[in-house]
Every structure is written in C-alpha cells, then in structure tokens.
Amino acid sequence: MKMKEGFKKLFENGFTKQIALFSVCGIVGLFDAYFSVNGVNTLLLWEKFVYALMLGAFAFFIIGFETKFLHERQIPEIDMESFKLTCNRVLFIIFLIGIPIIMVKFYPKYTFIAFCLELLLAVPLTLIQAGFSYNYNENEAFSLLKKLNLADYIALLVKRLWIIFLSYSTVFFIVFLIFFLSGFVVSILYGGDATSIAYAISSNKLIISKLSGFISEIILIYVLTIGTLIWDYEVIKTYEREE
C-alpha cells in the first residue's frame, strides 16, 4: 500500500498549502453545516440556488486540484489553475457525471444510493484523471483505465471504504476531544458543581448541538478531501507498479 507515501507527499513541505486547503474546505463546510442544520427542505429557492452553486464550485475545483496533485505528486497551490484544468473536456465530463450525486444533498432519502453510485464510479473516473494527469493530454486519459481488472477494482474499492471509515472516525475523535476538553474547562470554572454544570449544558444544548454540527462538518470536508487525495495516490501507484 502506498497510502503512507501519499500522506507524506501531502504534508511534506506543504504547511502553508495545507492551511490554504483547510480554509477552502472550511468555507464549504461552514455553508454545508449551515444549510444542513437548518434543514434543506426548509430553504428558500434562492438559498437552494446558492447552496447548489457552492457545492458545484467546490466539486469543479476539487477535480482540477486532484488532477494537479496526481501530476505534481505533492500538494499543489490553491489557484485558478485547478478551475482551468476542469474546463478541459475530459475532466469537465467527469464533473458533469458527478452533478446528480452532488444534487442528492437536496434529496436526503437517496443518500445511500448516491454513496454506492459514487463508490462504484470512483475507480474508473479516478483512473481517467490519473491518465490525463501525466501530460494533461486527452489522448492519454484512458491509458490506465484500459489496464483495470476486477481484482484491482475490488481492492481499490475496499481501500476507499477504509479511507472513508478512517475519515469519519478521525472527525469523531477530534470533535469528542474538543468537547471533552471544553467540558473539563467548564467543570473547573464551576468548581466541579454538577448541578451548575448540568444547568449550563441544558440551557445551552441548542447552541452546543449547532456548534457540534458546524465543527464536525468543517473538519469532515477537510479530512475527506485529504483522504481522497491519499486514495488517488494509491490508485495511480497501483498501476505504475505494474508497468
């Protein structure tokens, strides 16, 4: 497995780039949490339009960003080149394929179906991105996809599921740690008075719930993005080892 190597590539001499990436993911996560906490079904038409535009813009950016990472083998700069790359015909088609999956945000009951569809398409679409990433040449886009076999497909699907599981587990642990430490501070401020602590929590439970949602979503978008890039690296290295 090359996931550890991919992780190193992402964080090797890339602190400022990681901050920039976290900022982008944080903005998206903030919007996502706001609309999710308030309920997608209760949104006004203009709010749904803004939400859909934000999701589409992020997907458009991340496809180009992934391709740049596969090309450079290190975390790339956050710039307009990611958007320009996705304007290429091959990557733009990948973006269009992902639009229905993105829009499922407005139809929560189809979330599981969308997740399964995204999982099944992840390997072939990433292989197309990887092939294109070598020289940004459309003629090379399907070079790796032609080598796809069932054994590799299943192995990469399992690894992607593992990455998703680790991402959610990491976010759960971070959020738990944040609120555990916050609770520890609160207990010190109230001198360990259980009644006062319980009253403070119950009177602010709505705020705590929303705050938890915002923090979780912001961190989750970032961690899932990092996890996806690590998995992308595993995909391209799987076929480079076979050459």
pLDDT for the residue numbered 195: 63
Distances from the Cα of 42 to the Cα of 78, 99, 122, angstroms: 34, 22, 31
Query: Residue 144 corresponds to which tokens in the numbers above?
Result: 């790796």
Q: How far is the C-alpha of 92 from the C-alpha of 90, rounded, in Å?
A: 5
Contact 167, 220 (CB under 8 A): yes
Which is nearest to 145 in space by CA: 160, 161, 124?
124
pLDDT for the residue numbered 16: 87
pLDDT for the residue numbered 13: 74
Q: What is the pLDDT of residues 103-155, one digit of tens each?
A: 887 777 888 888 888 889 999 999 999 999 998 988 888 988 888 889 889 99
Contact 241, 50 (CB under 8 A): no
- Please tell me what DSSP assigns to residue 120: H
Q: What is the pLDDT of residues 162-211, one digit of tens each?
A: 999 999 999 888 888 877 777 767 677 666 555 665 655 666 666 666 77
pLDDT for the residue numbered 228: 92
pLDDT for the residue numbered 241: 66
- Counting Cα atoms < 13 Å in the Cβ hemisphere of 156 gives 26
Q: How far is the C-alpha of 24 from the C-alpha of 59, rounded, in Å?
A: 12
Q: How far is the C-alpha of 231 from the C-alpha of 123, rounded, in Å?
A: 10
Q: Residue 187, exposed/middle/buried by CB under 10 A (0-12, 13-18, 19+)? A: middle
Q: Indicate the Cα dihedral angle 199, 202, 204, 209, nearest 10°.
A: 150
pLDDT(10) > 60: yes
Q: What is the pLDDT of residues 30-88, one digit of tens each?
A: 888 877 766 667 777 777 788 888 888 999 999 999 999 999 888 888 888 999 999 99
Contact 239, 70 (CB under 8 A): no
Domain range enclosing 15: 3-241
- Number of residues written out for the chain: 243
Residue type, position 43, single letter: L
Q: How far is the C-alpha of 10 from the C-alpha of 234, rounded, in Å?
A: 13
pLDDT for the residue numbered 70: 92
pLDDT for the residue numbered 227: 92
pLDDT(26) > 90: no
pLDDT for the residue numbered 242: 53
CA angle 100, 103, 107 (to 5 degrees): 115
Q: How far is the C-alpha of 210 from the C-alpha of 220, rounded, in Å?
A: 15
When divided into structural domains, the chain yields a total of 1
Higher pLDDT, residue 229 or 215: 229
